[in-house]
Amino acid sequence: MTFVDTELRALRDDLDRGLALPTVWYIDPAITALEMERIFRRSWQYVGRTEELARIGDYFMGTVGDIPVVVVRAVESICALVNVCRHRRHEVVHGAGSHQSLQCPYHAWTYELDGRLRSAPRSEHEPGFRKEEYPLLALQVATWGPWIFANADPSAPPFSEVLGELPRIVAGSGLDLDGLQLRRREEWSSDANWKVMIENFLECYHCPIQHPAFSAVIDVRPDAYELRAHRWFFTQRAPVRVSPPGKALPYNAEGHIREAQYHLLWPNFTLSINPGQPNLSVDVWLPDGPERTRGFSEHYFGPNVSEEWAEEMIAFNDQVGLEDDRLTSSVQRSMRCGLPDRGRFLVNSEHLCIDFQKLVLGAVGGKIQS
Residue 45 β-bridge partners: 150
Residue ranges, CATH 2.102.10.10, the chain: 45-155
pLDDT tens string 307-353: 999 999 999 999 999 999 999 999 999 999 999 999 999 999 999 99
Within 10 angstroms of residue 27's Cβ, the number of other Cβ atoms is: 17
pLDDT tens string 201-233: 999 999 999 999 999 999 999 999 999 999 999
- Listed in order, strand segments (DSSP E) in 91-232 are 96-98, 102-103, 110-111, 117-119, 138-144, 147-151, 181-190, 226-229
Alpha helices in 230-350 (DSSP H): 307-335
- Listed in order, strand segments (DSSP E) in 203-268 are 226-229, 233-239, 259-265
Q: Does the pLDDT value for residue 3 go beyond 80? A: no
What pTM, to 2 d.p., does this model score? 0.94
Give the side-chain half-sphere CA count within 13 A for 288: 13
In sequence order, which residues have a C-beta less than 8 Å from that of residue 95 and are 6 or more positions away? 60, 61
Q: Does the pLDDT value for residue 247 go beyond 90? A: no
CA distance 193 to 199: 10
pLDDT tens string 259-275: 999 999 999 999 999 99
Residue 218 β-bridge partners: 240
Mean pLDDT of the chain: 95
CA distance 138 to 154: 9
The CATH number given to 45-155 is: 2.102.10.10
For residue 107, the 8-state DSSP code is: T
Residue ranges, CATH 3.90.380.10, the chain: 5-41+164-365
Helix (H) or strand (E) holding 174: none
Q: How far is CA 337 from the centre of its chain?
A: 29
Out of 3.50.50.60, 3.90.380.10, 3.40.366.10, 2.60.200.20, select the CATH number for domain 5-41+164-365. 3.90.380.10
